[in-house]
């Protein structure tokens, strides 16, 4: 395939990913209106996001295993189509339980498509540019969320909450069409090599020596905490605080969340460049600590301006999201990336489930302040546990690459 056609297909794929993640992000600004319209409790509202995570959790590891035997294109296509179906089910639901079921269906598709996409991008990126490539993918995710939360929030305010989910279904279908154009025609994105033979795939290479398995374990733990804070703090607590404590409309809440996404977008490329140049871990820790600080500050915000400012700072912290998968794929052989990314997504989706559920329970029992400070404490503690890795990644990567080379020559 010539370079012009390859570039064209890549740009079409980027557009497809933007549409897909916009489709997956319509639910959060609808939460206050859902609670009012359906008479749902805080715990039931927590399950609207948690169900999306449960189904993802059940899909992550099987999807990663499947990628050892199949090209990732199949997962991308299936996943986008299933997300569209799940949003459609939620749009026509007659109760909060129906909305939860629709979100669960969408979660199955989301996991499959994301793991397929991550595997494609890991194959395209070199060792010295992987953080930037994953940051670009995160840019597409956040750009899609920034647009869809604002539009879905106003759609819910003007037409009703069902319109928000209907918008999500339409976006997923458009993303699927664009992905089929980019990845179809019988080739995996511009001639990417076929999936590895599982019998010949090298084992996962751990950073440093074999006894230092805790390095990958800590990265997976921090991935869990980031997802926990994302769904518990920004997806659940932040819109509920604005809608119920400050009395803001769903449109204003959607715009406030979009402001956070814009801040995230503005820092994604600087984070990726700094991480590739100076190391992944210091930049990752800075983002996590900022999230902890803003979680502590949220229940202290008493005006629309401070509420939006907190959302802005939360977005700035979450610009580090693309760094954990970059660390993990630094430390494994190419043939094992599907497996390690499946484990990574498993931890992310476990956090996606527990974040909104635990925040909902804390809201029922102690109010906004207790819920926010719980998230702040867990996020800050995880950063301290991870602090010991701050000087290890470069050495670990060199040792891992040397190990791969030695086994390749054997």
- The alpha carbon of 202 is separated from its chain's Cα centroid by a whole number of angstroms, namely 28
CB 148 within 8 A of CB 171: yes
User: What are the structure tokens assigned to 368, written together?
Assistant: 């906004």
Domains of the chain: 3-409 (1.20.1250.20)
Kindly give, in sequence order, each residue whose CB lies less than 8 Å from that of residue 192, ignoring residues fewer than 6 positions away. 120, 123, 124
Q: Which residues contact 2 (CB under 8 A, 6 or more apart)?
A: none
Q: How confident is the model at residue 124 (pLDDT cuts 50, 70, 90)?
A: low
What H or E segment, with its residue span, contains residue 275? helix 250-278
**Maximum Cα–Cα distance across the chain:** 66
Residue 359: which of 298, 316, 293 has the closest Cα?
298
Q: DSSP state, 320?
A: G
Give residue-wise pLDDT tens across range 154-211: 888 888 889 999 999 999 999 999 888 877 654 444 434 444 443 433 333 444 444 3
Q: Which residue from 140, 89, 86 is spatially nearest to 109, judged by alpha carbons?
A: 86
Which single residue is written with the structure tokens 């715009």? 255
pTM of the model: 0.67
| Residue 97: HSE in the Cβ half-sphere, 13 Å Cα cutoff | 0
CA distances from 110 to 56, 155, 359, 400 (A): 7, 23, 23, 31
* Distances 282 to 75, 216, 384 between C-alpha atoms, Å: 33, 16, 12
What are the pLDDT digits (tens) for 211-269?
346 777 888 888 999 999 988 999 889 998 998 888 888 778 888 888 888 888 888 88
């Amino acid at each position: 395939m010539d370079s012009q056609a390859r570039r064209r297909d890549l740009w079409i794929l980027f557009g497809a990913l933007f549409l897909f993640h916009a489709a997956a992000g319509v639910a959060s600004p609808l939460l206050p209106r859902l609670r009012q319209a359906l008479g749902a409790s805080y715990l039931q509202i927590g399950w609207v996001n948690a169900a999306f995570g449960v189904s993802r959790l059940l899909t992550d590891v099987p999807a990663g295993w499947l990628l050892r035997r199949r090209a990732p294109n199949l997962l991308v296509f299936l996943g986008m189509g299933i997300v569209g179906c799940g949003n459609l089910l939620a749009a026509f639901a007659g109760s909060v339980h129906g909305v939860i079921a629709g979100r669960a269906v969408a979660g199955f598709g989301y996991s499959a498509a994301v793991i397929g996409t991550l595997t494609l991008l890991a194959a395209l990126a070199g060792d010295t540019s992987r953080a930037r490539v994953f940051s670009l993918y995160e840019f597409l995710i956040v750009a899609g969320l920034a647009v869809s939360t604002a539009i879905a929030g106003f759609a819910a305010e003007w037409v009703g909450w069902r319109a928000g989910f209907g918008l999500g279904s339409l976006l997923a279908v458009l993303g699927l069409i664009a992905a089929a154009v980019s990845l179809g025609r019988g080739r995996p994105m511009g001639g990417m090599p076929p999936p590895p033979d599982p019998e010949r795939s090298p084992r996962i290479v751990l950073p440093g020596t074999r006894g230092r398995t805790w390095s990958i374990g800590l990265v997976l733990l921090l991935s869990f905490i980031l997802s926990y804070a994302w769904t518990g703090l920004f997806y659940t607590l932040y819109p509920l605080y604005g809608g119920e404590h400050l009395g803001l409309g769903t449109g204003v809440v959607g715009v406030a969340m979009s402001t956070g996404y814009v801040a995230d977008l503005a820092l994604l490329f600087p984070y990726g460049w700094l991480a590739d140049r100076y190391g992944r871990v210091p930049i990752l820790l800075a983002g996590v600590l900022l999230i902890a600080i803003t979680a502590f500050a949220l229940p202290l915000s008493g005006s629309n301006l401070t509420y939006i400012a907190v959302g802005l700072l939360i977005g700035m912290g979450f610009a580090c999201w693309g760094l954990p998968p970059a660390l993990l794929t630094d430390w494994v052989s190419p043939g094992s990336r599907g497996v390690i990314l499946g484990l990574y997504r498993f931890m992310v989706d476990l956090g996606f489930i527990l974040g909104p559920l635990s925040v909902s329970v804390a809201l029922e029992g102690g109010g906004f302040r207790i819920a926010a400070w719980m998230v702040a404490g867990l996020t800050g503690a995880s950063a301290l546990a991870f602090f010991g890795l701050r000087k290890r990644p470069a050495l670990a990567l060199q040792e891992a690459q040397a190990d791969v080379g030695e086994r390749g020559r054997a």
